[in-house]
Structure 1
Amino acid sequence: MGTGFIALDIVEGKLNTFGAAGGSCGNVMAMLAWLGWTASPIGRLGADAAGEFVVSEYAKLGVDCRHIVRDENVATPIVIQRFGETAEGERTHRFSLSCPDCGGWLPRFRPMTISQAAPVLESSLAPKVFYLDRVTPASLRLARWAKDLGALVLFEPSSVGDEKPFQRAIDLCHVLKYSHDRLGHIPDLAAAQSPDLIVETLGEQGLRMRWRGSWSVLPAFKTDVFEDAAGSGDWCSAGLLHLVGARGADAFQASKRDNLERALKFGQALATLNCRFEGARGLMSFMDHQSVNKAFRELLETRVFAEVEHLERSSRSLPEDLCSLCKPQKKTRARNKKKAG
């Protein structure tokens, strides 16, 4: 189970613009479902077209959506992904929060309330893994609930925000994972004592991990085809959880360093393979498990992904009227402005 950022990604690719269920939490849950888990995101989406698009895609992927609240008072978050080139000619991406049709602000993350999370907190569920990427009163309550039931808790922040709740999340988690680009400037994260495992991703340089007080570095894999690095961190998280989370926190805490390194390498390999396709979860649209396994065998021998078998281009679509997706947000702002006046 997991809670945090769930959104509609709109990717402006080379050949077409397409939509995909996204957000860090949303991606990790979808990836775990693809890897064979029963994955249940807990979150708050709007009762709108974007929310319907996200939930429909999750249903096709086998994601359990019963704990996603469809709230008429909010709009589903939407993120636009655009591509460009660096000065060295390398392909890169950036995210936009404004509508390309009308220029208005797109809906942003709205946390679920504790009352909306109550059905989960009061249930008889007992997750083996719990993932969170946003610090809110509900996410902290859910993380505590899951940890008390023996779940392995992974916290993957993208920013700090209020320090006290942020520290509570660090104290709750077994695994703290963050990007050097986003949070590497905060030395206290690498020195945190509560997490059993700390993972700092380093982009093209790979990652480094701290286990039982000792740091080690895992270099990145390489690929001869590169389209998009979006979702790399999410794939790494999903790969780690897939190999070390199935038996919960106790088994994880008894892990040996070699097992953790193998799990992180598996996540790195998934991330590298996904870089060959557009979108945070492009791998899932163009490869089946058999072709992925074949690619992994090649990787073990050469450490480089070269020729990779993939399916015919999978159909990836987008709601016809993109601008209609941000209208609920505009209406809400208009009502608020009218009340203020």
Structure 2
Amino acid sequence: MSRVICAGHVNWDVTLRVDALPEPDGEATVESRVGAGGGSAANVASGLVGLDVPAALLGSVGDDEHGHAAVAELASKGVDCRHVVSVDRGPTTVKYIVVDAAGEVFVLGSPGVNEAFEATDLPTDPLAVADHLHLTSQSPDTAATLARRAHEVDTTVSFDPGRRVGDRGYADALREVDYVFLNDREAATALGEAAVERGRSAGSEPPSEVAEALARTTLVLKHGPRGAEVRDGDDRHVHPGYPVDAVDTTGAGDAFASGFIAARLDGAAYERALAVANACGALTAAEPGARTQLSWRRLDDLVEG
């Protein structure tokens, strides 16, 4: 039985490490090129398994070399991939991730089938026996349907909607979830910069549908090197994070989500969950690639008892 089901993107990542990000009409030197599995849902599932939380994955790949490799890599780590759909109407989504010497990242995406799966591809029984459903970037209708189905069987739900939180029509899905993960840029897009700095009620502009939906949830805000916080109604819980020399921030937010979910399922209070989550994000940012091998043993050196 999988305690957590992660739904969303399963990609193949091609990571290009460059000496510097070029200016327009400029050029950079590619110092290395590595291909490996990626995608937010896949990254979180992999991180959870490393933290001894059985996890299953719901997503879609093409019936091609990249798709087969991505699923095989996840299965070798112990992720339950029986709900990953292989489709023949398009290729596996490939992301080209460019990382500079300071660990800063930008992403180039190619069209693919990572949103070809539907809510009906997940049977009711696995969802009913799971403790938690984690949603990442996917079709808004699929996200909303999965969240509603989860609540019908008393399974808690978290959602990391990603950089397009403000323009993909996620309001219906956000109304159905218990936790929402946002980084600073995403939170400013969804709530406005003043609300992020002072609390979600700040500002005099009428709230958008997304902002109204977020007002009903618990927000988990990721501040990168400045740590993270939980806003649960009027309560605010803060953790300062851990100083690391960033090598590659790809996947750090997904590792953060893995740590937070694992800690909460273990009964941790918000402060402890934030400490574990920040440690997972820091370990990932300090190493190349989107998937650092997470484990409780590795976290012991960072996390306060």
TM-score scaled by length of structure 1? 0.71
Q: CA 1:216–1:244 in 2, change beyond 3 Å: closer, same or farther?
A: closer
Q: Please give the secondary structure, in 1, of the residue aligned with 2:69.
A: helix
Contact 2:9 2:60 in 1 (8 A): no
Q: CA 1:74–1:161 in 2, change beyond 3 Å: closer, same or farther?
A: farther
Q: Distance in 1 between matches of 2:284 and 2:114?
A: 28
1:245 Cα shift?
2.7
Q: Please give the secondary structure, in 2, of the residue aligned with 1:198.
A: strand
1:272 Cα shift?
0.8
1:109 Cα shift?
5.2
Q: CA 1:111–1:226 in 2, change beyond 3 Å: closer, same or farther?
A: closer
Q: CA 1:194–1:288 in 2, change beyond 3 Å: closer, same or farther?
A: closer
CA-to-aligned-CA distance 1:97-120 (integer Å, 9 cap, x gap) = 3xxxxxxxx334542354xx4252
C-alpha RMSD of matched pairs (Å): 2.5
Q: 2:248 matched to which residue of 1?
A: 228
Contact 1:127 1:146 in 2 (8 A): no
Q: Which amino acid aligns with 1:27?
A: N
Q: Which amino acid aligns with 1:181?
A: R
Q: CA 1:244–1:179 in 2, change beyond 3 Å: closer, same or farther?
A: same
Q: 1:92 matched to which residue of 2?
A: 104
Q: 2:28 matched to which residue of 1?
A: none
Q: Would you say 1:175 and 2:187 are equivalent positions?
A: no
Contact 1:13 1:278 in 2 (8 A): no
Q: 1:55 matched to which residue of 2?
A: 71
**Largest Rg, 1 or 2:** 1
Q: Which amino acid aligns with 1:235?
A: A
1:123 Cα shift?
3.5
Aligned length: 268
Give the percent of matched residue pairs that are identical in Structure 1 and Structure 2: 23
Q: Which amino acid aligns with 1:228?
A: D
Partner residue of 2:165 out of 160, 165, 168:
160
Partner residue of 1:112 out of 88, 108, 116:
116
Q: Which amino acid aligns with 1:220?
A: G
Q: Please give the secondary structure, in 2, of the residue aligned with 1:57.
A: helix
Contact 1:181 1:202 in 2 (8 A): no
Contact 1:5 1:109 in 2 (8 A): no
TM-score scaled by length of structure 2? 0.79
Q: 1:295 matched to which residue of 2?
A: 301
1:215 Cα shift?
2.5
Contact 1:74 1:110 in 2 (8 A): no
Gaps of 5+ in 1: 98-105, 247-251, 302-341
Q: Which amino acid aligns with 2:249?
A: A
Q: Distance in 2 between matches of 1:243 and 1:294?
A: 13
Q: Distance in 1 between matches of 2:271 and 2:278?
A: 10
Q: Which amino acid aligns with 1:198?
A: L
Q: Distance in 2 between matches of 1:261 and 1:289?
A: 17
Contact 2:132 2:155 in 1 (8 A): yes
Q: CA 1:118–1:216 in 2, change beyond 3 Å: closer, same or farther?
A: closer
Q: 2:24 matched to which residue of 1?
A: none
Q: CA 1:29–1:148 in 2, change beyond 3 Å: closer, same or farther?
A: same
Contact 1:228 1:275 in 2 (8 A): yes
Q: 1:263 matched to which residue of 2?
A: 273
Q: CA 1:289–1:123 in 2, change beyond 3 Å: closer, same or farther?
A: closer
Contact 2:43 2:254 in 1 (8 A): yes
Q: Larger deviation: 263-272 or 32-41? A: 32-41
Partner residue of 1:205 out of 211, 216, 226:
226
Contact 1:199 1:209 in 2 (8 A): yes
Greater share of residues in strand:
2
Q: 1:278 matched to which residue of 2?
A: 288
Q: 2:62 matched to which residue of 1?
A: 46
* Within-5 A mapping of 1:233-252: 233-245=253-265
Greater share of residues in helix:
1
